[in-house]
Amino acid sequence: MNDSTISNDNRLVVIQRNPRSGSGAGRNQLLILVRDLRRAGFVVRMFRSRPSLDSWLALPEKRRQLRCIVAAGGDGTVADIVNRFPGCPVAVLPLGTENLLAQYLGIPRSGCELAKLVIAGRTRTFDSAIANQQRFLLMLSAGVDGNIVHAIHANRTGTIRRIGYLWPTLRAFWKSVPTLIRASTPDGTHSATGTHVIVTNIPRYGFGLRFAPEASPDDGLLNIRVYHGTTRLQVCWHAIRLKLGLPISAREYTKFTATNVVLEACNACLVSGVQADGDPCRPLPVCVAVQPASLRLLVR
């Protein structure tokens, strides 16, 4: 791990607020964060508009003064910030539904605690990955959970609560048809076919599922897991056993690590259920490449 500390000369903190996530209790935590940082002598600017923030940080003097960008929202908000401002230190105020990155880093939903973290200025570099020119931080998957993400976002009007996943999850399980997907490395070292493929960078996954508990976010490798079940019932039963920690036969899946992997549909089928960091992606094929030490996050 590569740890460093931001200079105390950098006194500008910029907050990108996700309007859908940063409301209600989340808004109160934002106000606490701003209050505590200003009391500590920092200059704080908050933006809801992405174009406004982009224009403001395009000014060279602002970039020189910048301490960090606070991503106030879910994992998708963090990924969006990293895509728009590569190399900038990012702090996470977890206001989304799952907040897998914040969970992994041990960052609570607390403006007071995040202010302490920003003031301390300790950063660590992590890997990210590029999928068809788009950077993601945590995971990309193709299959049933991609269908769920697409269904949820198609009808989203505000913050997504866990209960909001129930109907799309059931519909994806029982109405979608599992489609064969091939995951292979460009050099031909690895190749596996299944109905659900996950490319991940951290050991956490939504709803507490542990598809790759051995994954490390700073080892320069992607962890790929290909599930071989071909029926809805098999997919459902597999997820239940993962959640409950029940034994799963090694014959049910293939897993490997790689720096590059290609996901493509078998038999010329269209696989539109693709998601990255909880946001919908374009249909397969997709080429994924790890980007070692490309993400700089504030840590405790």
Range of the domain at 142: 134-293
CATH number at residue 246: 2.60.200.40
Q: Which among 120, 154, 183 is the end of a domain?
A: 120
169 and 283 in a single domain? The answer is yes
Instruction: Check residue 211 and give its pLDDT.
Output: 84
Instruction: Check residue 284 and give its pLDDT.
Output: 93
List the chain pLDDT tens, one digit each, 300 residues: 589 999 999 999 999 998 766 556 688 999 999 999 999 999 999 999 999 999 999 999 999 999 999 999 989 899 999 999 999 999 999 998 778 899 999 999 999 999 999 999 999 999 999 999 889 999 999 988 888 887 777 766 555 566 666 776 777 667 777 889 999 999 999 999 999 999 999 987 776 787 888 999 999 999 999 999 988 788 888 888 988 888 899 999 999 999 999 999 998 777 778 999 888 898 899 999 999 999 999 999
**Is residue 98 a part of any domain in this protein?**
yes
pTM of the model: 0.88
**Is residue 35 a part of any domain in this protein?**
yes
What would the two tokens of residue 101 be? 């990155």
Token pair 């070292």: residue: 189
| Number of CB atoms found within 10 A of residue 209's CB | 14
10 and 103 in a single domain? The answer is yes
Query: How many folded domains does the chain comprise?
Result: 2
115 and 138 in a single domain? The answer is no
**Is residue 37 a part of any domain in this protein?**
yes
